[in-house]
Amino acid sequence: MQKLQKKIFRARAPLRVSLAGGGTDIKSYFNTNKGAVLNFTISKYAYAEVKIIESLFIAKAIDLDIEVKVNISEHKNKNINGENLFLHWQTYKYMMGKHNNSQLLPAEISTYCDAPIGSGLGSSSTLVVCMVKIWSEILNAGLDEYQIAEAAYEIERNICKLEGGMQDHYSAAFGGVNFIEFENSKVVVHPLRIKNCFKSELESSLVLHYCGSSRDSSNIIRDQIKVTLDNNNDRIKFLHKLKEIAYEMKTHFLKGSISKIIELMNLGWSNKKETSQKINNKNIQERIDLAFKFGAKSIVPV
């Protein structure tokens, strides 16, 4: 790697809202059934800044008030999975291994996310995408959006063993409104060109509401994985229905049919909560009831 001229690098990646198909982006489902989701990114982000320093790798999560320092010479062939910020460390190790001949670059990375962990907006996946982006720039790796998403998925799901789907990495890497199809090892992202008037109406009609508590989505994913691995499990029909709704949602997004989208959002929620008993709870249901009481026409708990 050539000597770095720049000393500070910055990147950000957007968080996402999933409107349809969530759950069909789990690998155990789309390996045999094909999956499809429709999501869009919002003006909330994960951020990363890297400073080139000497001797150490330092990771800071500003929003969590956590800092980890690693002596590179001592940890060259070791993992620190049991320590804090292992996503930072494993992303760094992966990118150095793939794009810097496994030579660990002394650096300090600081991160911040606009949404708390467990918010349902794909914050951890978006953070990994953001870190892959910044290391790609620093190492002059030239990764495109697909490669960034693939690397982030590999790091979070396979190396760090965090359960979850695949849509978050692609939405964060591409940004915008996307219809994403998953089949075996193939992922195709279809950016949707929607009318400006429809986009404005959608933005003015949606309210993002935080329920006040975080949840561990891996418990829900494990529940859904059990469904996908059991051909006799009756709940898999709800995942099939969610995929159908995603395709239908795509059509009405392109047409700008707000009334039909509202109908599909409600239908999606009624099917999604059947895929795992852990999706809904008393707190969420109370917020849903209040929303409808005060005029909401549709809800999508994320």
**What is the phi/psi pair of residue 183, to 5°?**
-155, 115
Backbone angles phi, psi at 161, to 5 degrees: 60, 35
DSSP 294: T
Q: Tell me if 80 sits within 8 A of 68, measured CB to CB.
A: yes
How far the first Cα of the chain sits from its last, in Å, is 42
- Which residues lie closer than 8 Å to 152 by C-beta, 6 or more apart? 91, 125, 128, 129, 132, 169, 172, 173
**Quick one: residue 44, left, alpha or beta (phi over 0 = left, psi -120 to 50 = alpha)?**
beta
In b/e form, how buried is each residue of 53-68, taking b as 16+ CB within 10 angstroms? eeeebbbbbebeeeeb
Which ranges constitute the DSSP H helices of the chain? 27-33, 72-75, 86-99, 123-138, 145-153, 167-174, 196-205, 217-229, 236-255, 258-272, 282-293
Catalogue the active-site residues. 168
Q: How many CB atoms lie within 10 A of CB 230?
A: 11
- The helix (H) or strand (E) run that includes residue 188 is strand 186-191
What's the CA gap between 82 and 99, in Å, rounded?
25
* Token pair 């949606």: residue: 206
Name residue, tokens 């030239």: 142
Encoded tokens for 250: 């795509």
